[in-house]
Structures are given as C-alpha cells and as structure tokens.
C-alpha cells in the first residue's frame, strides 16, 4: 500500500521552507551590506548610542547629570568596557563622564549646521569617537572600542530589533493562517470523497459534484465522472446481455427439454431436431457474445484511433466465406467495387462480420441474386446490399435493427444480425438503414466516413461463380 501524505502538512512545510529561505537570504544580504558599509554602520550605531544617552540628560538646580538607559547602565559601568561617554557644557568643560573612564574623552568639532561631528577612528585599538550637539549648547562625545563588523551589526540589530520581532510574529501568524486556509480549501475534497464512497453499482447515474472544488482539482473530477459514465455503460451493457441471453435462451431450452423428455418416454430420440435446436442455441450465444465483445471494444477506443483499412478487402473476404452457401441455395452474388482502395478507419474483423451478417440476412430472408456494391460518395464510403425478395415494410424498418426483432414472428434466425450491423456501422462513425421502395426488393445501405484522397471509379458488375473471381 502506498504511504499517504497530508497535502495540508506539505503546504505548511513548503511555506516554512520559503520563509526560512527568505530569512536566510535577508541575513546574507544584511551581512554583505555590513561588510560593504562598515563606516556608515559604525556612524549609525554611535549616533543611536548618543540619542539613547541624551534621553537621560537632566538639569536640576543648575546641576547637570546624565543617566544612561537601563540597557546601557552595565556597559558604561564596567572598567575597560568598549563604551564610554563625556558630556561637555557650553564652554567645552567636561561635566559628566561614564563611570568606566577617569579622563574625559576628546571633544570634536561639529560642522556648522550639523548635529554630529564626523566619525573619527584613532589608535591601534581602532577606537571610534563622535561628538553630538546637546540642548543648551552642550555637547556629548561618545566612544566605542574594537568596533568589529560583527559586533556593529549585532548592535544595530539590537537597536532596531522591533522590525525583526514584527517579522517573526508575522511569520507565526502566516503559518497559522496557512494551516487553517489549507484545511478550509481542502474541505470540498473531503465532501467529494464522501460522495465517491456512496457510489454503488445500483446508482449508475451518480457523479462527483465539482461545486466548490479548486480549479486544479476539477479536471480530475471530470475525468472521474467520465470514468463513472463509462463504467455505467459497461454495467448496463452487461446487465442487458444477461437479460437478453436469459430471455432468448428460455424458449429453445424449453423446446430441447421437451424433446429430451419425449425421447426418454418413447425410447426414441429425434436427433435431427435436437441437433437443429442445439445449432440455433449455439448461433444465438455466439452472436450475443460477438455483440458484447464489439460493444466493449467500441467503448475502449474512438474512431480516430482506429487503423486505416481498405473497406473492399473485408467485403471480398466476407463474400468469399458465404459463397458456398449461396451456391448451395442455387443463388448468385454480384460484387461491384472500385478499382482503387476505399480507405476507412475501422477494425477489419468487425467490418467483415458486418458484411457477413448482411449477406446472411439476404440469403436467409431474401430471394434471387444478391447484389453487393461499394463506392465512394462525397465524404462517405457507401456499401449497398440488395436482393430480389420481399422488402421490409416502411413501418418496420427501424424496428428490425433492434435486438431480437424480426420482420415476422415465423422468420428464422435470432434477430441479432441487423442489430450487429447497425452497431458496427455506428461504432465506425457511420450508420445502416433500409433504402428504396419495399416493393422493389430489399436494399440496405451502410455509410462510413471516407478518408481523404479516395478516388471513385466504378467497376462493371460481374456474376460471381468461382471463389477466386470475387473482387
């Protein structure tokens, strides 16, 4: 059994992977910019440091004090720490120093109209200095020792950590939304699964509803509904086959049973009659199986997928097969075909069976010469089978193409021959019908789509006697 996976979980993991890639890419870009703009980064960190310190500037009764924010108190209190500051009055005298230094820091000149002095890095330890203008003419010098790129970036991130926090929270909210949106989007799939569970053989018209399903899933639902339609057709054909077989075999089986009972009582069996009954049942079962096979094959392929066949070849083969029986009945057959091929798309075996059933019908129910004519007519290949017997009345012409329907109740045969003819014709994209006046004999016309390029050339009719002269 193939292991199942959760589409919902996959979507969530995919979003997590994408967000992780985005964060990693942002970090790389940030680090790259840090290396490329180290001076600018140092300048920004010192400016932010100065702003934070000035928030703690107090003047009480003329005395000036500077109270660093809580986050900076430890950094300025430890001796030898990397951070330091010195506050100067308007006269340039130091009035407040960070606890971790003993001597004041140098006071740098601030350009006119500016709030900050240029960044100055001095000494072997690359100590950075900057002076910022404070209220009432005061100035504040701040310093930082060993400003490595990594520490500068870390400081900047700490000083501007709110956007990152907002980003992390947003990612968490997005994950939760993706989880619930995925569940909401997949809810119609659960409904479709329940509908599929309720489809039974007794409900051939049941389908999956595409309502509410994502557009990406609807082609799958359409394919499933198409498969259900094909299965319903196959189920209906199988049920019809069973019913037909049971109905049509009931009478011959009953007759055969009576003959056997009579033979048992009298001690003498009518073997010719028994053999005739068995032959009729064998033919009936063979035709039923043949029709069922053709229906199944036609459901499996479209006409355009069939091979190209010269219609004249299965016609001549069928005529050759039935010729001995025609001669035995003292009748003749005339075959007229074009000099060139008559290409159609189809199954040669089915086309041969169709022609054979037409010829059998003419032999069993007709009289006189059997005429067979094949020609191209526009976009169709037209086959005409005619005889000189009594035609089928107009009101029965459609009925006799149905299964087990005969022209008269006393007619021989099973009533399946013309049903097979029409089924094969329609399965090949054409049709079969009676044409002409019923008083002028029986004529059946079969039309199939003709492939492009056929050339219609009439050939003279010939009375076929020897087998080898057909076609």
Instruction: Examine the domain organization and report whether 317 and 458 are in the same domain.
Output: yes
Domain of residue 103, CATH code: 3.30.450
Instruction: Examine the domain organization and report whether 313 and 271 are in the same domain.
Output: no
The residue ranges of the chain whose pLDDT is under 50 are 1-2, 4, 453-471
Instruction: Examine the domain organization and report whether 455 and 332 are in the same domain.
Output: yes
Instruction: Examine the domain organization and report whether 323 and 465 are in the same domain.
Output: yes
Instruction: Examine the domain organization and report whether 441 and 392 are in the same domain.
Output: yes
Domain of residue 394, CATH code: 3.30.565.10
| Domain contains 340 | yes
Instruction: Examine the domain organization and report whether 353 and 380 are in the same domain.
Output: yes
Instruction: Examine the domain organization and report whether 275 and 319 are in the same domain.
Output: no
| Domain contains 397 | yes
| Domain contains 212 | no
Asked if 141 and 130 count as a contact pair (C-beta separation under 8 A), the reply is: yes
Asked if 365 and 411 count as a contact pair (C-beta separation under 8 A), the reply is: yes
User: Residue 384's pLDDT is what?
Assistant: 93
| Domain contains 12 | no
Asked if 15 and 174 count as a contact pair (C-beta separation under 8 A), the reply is: yes
Residue 258 CB: number of other CB atoms within 10 A?
11
User: Residue 76's pLDDT is what?
Assistant: 82
| Domain contains 286 | yes
Number of domains in the chain: 3
Tell me which of 251, 268, 299 is where a domain ends: 299
Residue pointed to by tokens 């942002």:
26
Residues 2-13: pLDDT tens digits?
454 566 677 777
Which residues on neighbouring strands pair with residue 141, listed in sequence order?
86, 131
User: Residue 470's pLDDT is what?
Assistant: 40
Domain that holds residue 96: 37-159
Residue in 259, 461, 294 with CA at minimum distance from that of residue 374: 461
**pTM for this model (two decimals):** 0.47
What is the number of residues in the chain? 471
Which residues on neighbouring strands pair with residue 357, listed in sequence order?
none
Tell me which of 111, 138, 159 is where a domain ends: 159
Instruction: Examine the domain organization and report whether 279 and 333 are in the same domain.
Output: no
| Domain contains 284 | yes
Q: How far apart are CA 166 and CA 3, in angstroms?
A: 39
Instruction: Examine the domain organization and report whether 437 and 315 are in the same domain.
Output: yes
Q: Which tokens hold the place of 240?
A: 């019809």
Residues 321-354: pLDDT tens digits?
889 888 888 899 999 988 888 899 888 888 988 8
User: Residue 314's pLDDT is what?
Assistant: 92
């Amino acid at each position: 059994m193939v292991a199942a996976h959760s589409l919902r979980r996959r979507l969530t993991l995919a979003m997590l992977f994408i967000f992780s890639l985005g964060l990693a890419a942002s970090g790389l870009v940030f680090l790259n910019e840090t290396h490329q703009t180290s001076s600018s980064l140092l300048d920004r960190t010192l400016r932010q440091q100065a702003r934070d310190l000035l928030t703690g500037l107090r003047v009480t009764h003329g005395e000036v004090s500077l109270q660093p924010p809580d986050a900076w108190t430890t950094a300025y209190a430890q001796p030898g720490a990397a951070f330091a500051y010195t506050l100067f009055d308007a006269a340039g005298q130091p009035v407040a120093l960070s606890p971790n230094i003993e001597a004041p820091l140098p006071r740098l000149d601030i350009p006119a109209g500016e709030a900050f002095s240029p960044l100055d890095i001095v000494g072997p330890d690359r100590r950075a200095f900057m002076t910022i203008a404070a209220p009432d003419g005061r100035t504040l010098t701040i310093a930082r020792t060993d400003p490595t790129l990594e520490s500068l970036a870390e400081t900047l991130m700490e000083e501007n950590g709110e956007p990152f926090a907002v980003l992390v929270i947003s990612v968490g909210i997005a994950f939760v939304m993706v989880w619930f949106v995925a569940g909401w989007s997949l809810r119609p799939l659960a409904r479709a699964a329940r509908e599929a569970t309720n489809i039974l053989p007794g409900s051939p018209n049941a389908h999956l509803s595409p309502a509410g399903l994502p557009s990406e899933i609807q082609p799958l639902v359409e394919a499933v509904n198409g498969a259900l339609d094909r299965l319903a057709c196959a189920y209906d054909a199988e049920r019809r086959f069973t019913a037909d077989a049971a109905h049509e075999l009931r009478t011959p089986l009953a007759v055969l049973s009576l003959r056997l009972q009579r033979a048992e009582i009298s001690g003498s069996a009518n073997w010719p009659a028994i053999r005739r009954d068995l032959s009729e049942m064998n033919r009936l079962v063979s035709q039923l199986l043949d029709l069922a096979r053709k229906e199944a094959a036609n459901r499996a392929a479209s006409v355009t997928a069939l091979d190209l066949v010269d219609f004249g070849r299965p016609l001549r083969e069928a005529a050759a097969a039935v010729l001995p029986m025609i001669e035995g009945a003292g009748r003749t057959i005339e075959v007229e075909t074009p000099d060139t091929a008559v290409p159609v798309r189809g199954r040669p075996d089915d086309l041969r069976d169709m022609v054979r059933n037409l010829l059998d019908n003419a032999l069993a129910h007709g009289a006189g010469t059997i005429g067979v004519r094949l020609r191209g007519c526009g976009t169709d290949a037209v086959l005409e089978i005619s005889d000189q017997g009594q035609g089928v009345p107009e009101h029965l012409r459609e009925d006799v193409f149905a299964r087990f329907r005969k022209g008269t109740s006393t007619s021989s045969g099973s009533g399946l021959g013309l049903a097979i003819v029409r089924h094969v014709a329609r399965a090949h994209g054409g049709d079969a019908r009676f044409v002409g006046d019923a008083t002028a004999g029986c004529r059946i016309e079969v039309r199939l789509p003709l492939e492009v390029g056929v050339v219609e050339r009439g050939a003279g009719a010939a009375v076929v006697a020897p087998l080898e002269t057909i076609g």
